[in-house]
Amino acid sequence: MVRLIRTLVVLVSAGSLLALYAATALSAPNLSAAPAHVSKKAKKHKKVKKKKAAKKVANVKIIAGNETLAFNAQATQALEKAKVSLAAVGPASGALTSGVVFPLSGGTLNPATGFGSLSGTGALTFSTSFSVPGLFSSGSEATISEPSLNLGSSSTLSFTSQQASPPIFPFATVSLKGVHPTVSGARIALASLPVALDATGVQFLGEFAGGAFTTGEVVGTLTVQATSG
């Protein structure tokens, strides 16, 4: 009887050990998978925190800087073919081939998103002329000045011109897609923003180069170098 009881105890103990081993083996994969699951959650949480942090960054006041409008090769060739000349009017500087630089007079900018509004000074004169020696000569001229740049989910570059109606008109749309501000101390830079002509921009350029441009056509880039204070 005693031997029978001892045999039963040994069998029960062995069964218990086998059950414990099986339970441990089954739970092991879940334990090893847990860190990966936690890691994914942590990464997602960090991304959300970064987005929230960007939204919390306040706009800063812009006290100096410039914005450079550079026409691409296709637009430059179209203007040259139509014998259109461009001349920067101070305090703006530059030329058709190198880009026209407009000094900034003020505005605000968000260092995290690049959103804001900027006002510039200076002007750019478009002119063309045609003549037959001894018979006649004709030409046209118009000046766009005081560039105004509104940056956001939808961005616009506007100019003022006494030859336009109304005098202040949207010249082109500007894209911030894929562009992130570069910040160094008080300096904020937005490099090579694509510039696509608005309908009124096409109408304005059409006075000098009829049929050479279309709405939505990318004619160059705009680069902003701003100083906050």
Q: Mark whether 52 and 65 lie in a shared domain.
A: no
Determine contact, residues 38/32, Cβ cutoff 8 Å: no
Determine contact, residues 125/72, Cβ cutoff 8 Å: no
The predicted structure's pLDDT at residue 206: 94
The last residue of a domain, from among 31, 56, 81: 56
List the chain pLDDT tens, one digit each, 229 residues. 434 334 333 333 444 433 444 444 444 444 344 455 545 565 555 544 545 554 578 999 999 999 999 999 999 999 999 999 999 999 999 999 899 999 999 999 999 999 999 999 999 999 998 766 666 567 889 999 999 999 999 999 999 999 888 999 999 999 999 999 999 999 999 999 999 999 999 999 999 999 999 999 999 999 999 999 9
Distance (Å, whole) CA 48 – CA 190:
24
Distance (Å, whole) CA 111 – CA 182:
8
How many CB atoms lie under 10 A from the CB of residue 76?
17
The predicted structure's pLDDT at residue 135: 67
The predicted structure's pLDDT at residue 147: 98
The predicted structure's pLDDT at residue 72: 97
Q: Mark whether 76 and 158 lie in a shared domain.
A: yes
The last residue of a domain, from among 56, 72, 87: 56
The predicted structure's pLDDT at residue 5: 35
Please name which of 30, 53, 86 lies closest in space to residue 204, comparing C-alpha atoms. Answer: 86
Cα dihedral across residues 200, 196, 223, 84: positive or negative: negative
Please name which of 109, 118, 114, 112 lies closest in space to residue 55, comparing C-alpha atoms. Answer: 112
The predicted structure's pLDDT at residue 4: 34
SS3 146: strand
Q: How many domains does the chain have?
A: 2
Q: Mark whether 177 and 106 lie in a shared domain.
A: yes
Distance (Å, whole) CA 146 – CA 101:
12
Q: Mark whether 111 and 71 lie in a shared domain.
A: yes
| CB-neighbour burial class of residue 144 (10 A; exposed 0-12, middle 13-18, buried 19+) | buried
The predicted structure's pLDDT at residue 56: 77
Task: Please list, residue by residue across 77-100, b when 16 or more beta carbons sit within 10 angstroms of its beta carbon and e when fewer do.
Answer: ebbeeeebebbbeeebbbebeebb
Q: Mark whether 145 and 172 lie in a shared domain.
A: yes
Domain that holds residue 88: 60-228
Please name which of 179, 205, 226, 168 lies closest in space to residue 74, comparing C-alpha atoms. Answer: 205
Q: Mark whether 114 and 224 lie in a shared domain.
A: yes
Distance (Å, whole) CA 185 – CA 106:
18
Distance (Å, whole) CA 37 – CA 24:
20
Q: Mark whether 83 and 115 lie in a shared domain.
A: yes
Q: Mark whether 15 and 115 lie in a shared domain.
A: no
The predicted structure's pLDDT at residue 43: 55
The last residue of a domain, from among 26, 56, 86: 56
